[in-house]
Amino acid sequence: MAEQGNLTFGIIKPDAVRAGNTGRIIQHITDAGFRTRAMKLIHMTLEEAEGFYAVHRERPFFPELTRFMSSAPCVVMALEKDNAVKAWRDLMGATDPAKADDGTLRKEFGASMGENAVHGSDSEENAAIEISYFFSRLELV
């Protein structure tokens, strides 16, 4: 059996899907050595986006964020690699694309703080919660 790393959860956000960057972003993910354990295109309702971002409910940008995330389809993914949470956040780059390092996804594909192309879990605990929000056990291959 292939060696297993651990899992993180990622989203290719509506701005990146709408701009036609889904394929390019998946290529970067593959090139960086992640194994895709689950992936699907979904269009969240506002309520589903609010549930996903419940930890940010009190933040001023919560209404803008949830409206944006439910505005169009996005791609949700369970990604496997050694130290997957950190490896995926490193590939994503800083939240603000203007501050993201060269070679990161947010630098290449992000437009603003809000429309920053990708999401990634911030801990293994949240990765498990976020994967189970979108995928059943049977959908993890």
Judged by the rule CB under 6 A, the positions of this chain that interact with ligand ATP are 61, 64-65, 95, 113-114, 116, 119-120, 122
Among residues 76, 46, 77, 42, which one has the least CA distance to residue 62? 46
**CB nearer to Mg ion: pick between 21 and 116:** 116
Maximum C-alpha span of the chain: 47
Determine how many CB atoms are found less than 10 A away from the CB of residue 71: 16
By a kind-dependent CB cut-off of 5 to 8 A, residue 65 interacts, out of Mg ion, ligand ATP, none, with: ligand ATP
Residue 101 three-state SS: coil
Residue 137 three-state SS: helix
Q: C-beta of 8: minimal distance to ligand ATP in Å?
A: 10
Q: C-beta of 88: minimal distance to Mg ion in Å?
A: 11
| Catalytic entry in 28, 43, 56, 119 | 119
By a kind-dependent CB cut-off of 5 to 8 A, residue 116 interacts, out of Mg ion, ligand ATP, none, with: ligand ATP
Indicate if the alpha-carbon torsion angle 77, 25, 66, 53 is positive or negative.
Answer: positive
Determine how many CB atoms are found less than 10 A away from the CB of residue 11: 22
Q: C-beta of 138: minimal distance to ligand ATP in Å?
A: 26
Q: Is 119 a catalytic residue?
A: yes
Nearest-angstrom CA–CA distance, 133 and 101: 30
By a kind-dependent CB cut-off of 5 to 8 A, residue 114 interacts, out of Mg ion, ligand ATP, none, with: ligand ATP
Q: C-beta of 65: minimal distance to ligand ATP in Å?
A: 5
| Residues near Mg ion, by CB under 5 A | 122
Active-site annotation, residues: 119
